[in-house]
Amino acid sequence: MNSRKVVTDTDHIPGPVVSAAHLADGAMPALSELEFALVIQNNAYQRWITRCAQAAGGEGLSAMDVQILHAINHRERDKSLADLCMMFNIEDTHIVAYALKKLQAQGLVEPGRRGKEKTARITAAGSALCTRYRAVREKLLVESIRSLGLDESRLSELAGLMRVLSGQYDQAARSAASY
């Protein structure tokens, strides 16, 4: 019996770009493709925001530190630990608490209060860093992405879809916890 594989004209056409073919063999290969894209997008995004912060003068900040800093600067309103955890869908409050301590030690945020609740507020130095970050982002990232000619409404639509899918992953995580 001949065990050679028959080569067809379609053998050279790759399937979806995934990191785990055994997951893509399931009922929804496109979801595996999306998951792999999210992984590489997330890694690229985190690398970008730390390097952008460095270029803006924010030495030693992690991606989480930078995200927390921008969130606290958002609309110049004090944010509590609970606000920040909810905003970023973070279960482990220690991650946010550590970022807050680090940002406070660098003089980028300062403690505040809302009733009995501790909050964080942006300092002048933190606001200035956010402004410099924005300038670097506009020059190095926004200009480059705009040159691609992408439809901004499609980007907004994609962002909305990603938020909807995050809810599906959250629900699946809750189900897996009791599986």
94-110 pLDDT, tens digit each: 999 999 999 999 999 99
Higher pLDDT, 10 or 111: 111
Average pLDDT of every residue of the chain: 93
- What is the Cα–Cα distance from 58 to 67, expressed in whole angstroms? 12
Instruction: Provide mean pLDDT across the span 40-64.
Output: 98
Higher pLDDT, 17 or 91: 91
Identify the H or E element spanning 122: strand 117-122
pLDDT band at 1 (very low <50, low <70, confident <90, very high): low
- What is the Cα–Cα distance from 165 to 155, expressed in whole angstroms? 15
pLDDT of res. 76: 86
Token duo for residue 46: 């985190």
- What is the Cα–Cα distance from 24 to 59, expressed in whole angstroms? 40
Instruction: Provide mean pLDDT across the span 45-71.
Output: 98
Any idea of the CA torsion for 47, 50, 51, 55, to the nearest 10 degrees? 170
- The closest of 54, 50, 23 to 36, measured between CA atoms, is 23
pLDDT of res. 12: 60
Instruction: Provide mean pLDDT across the span 57-77.
Output: 97
pLDDT of res. 160: 97
Checking if the pLDDT of 13 tops 70, the result is: no
pLDDT of res. 8: 52
Share of the chain above pLDDT 70, in %: 92
> Which of 10-14, 122-126, 167-171 is the least confident region?
10-14
Full set of structural domains in the chain with CATH: 59-148 (1.10.10.10)
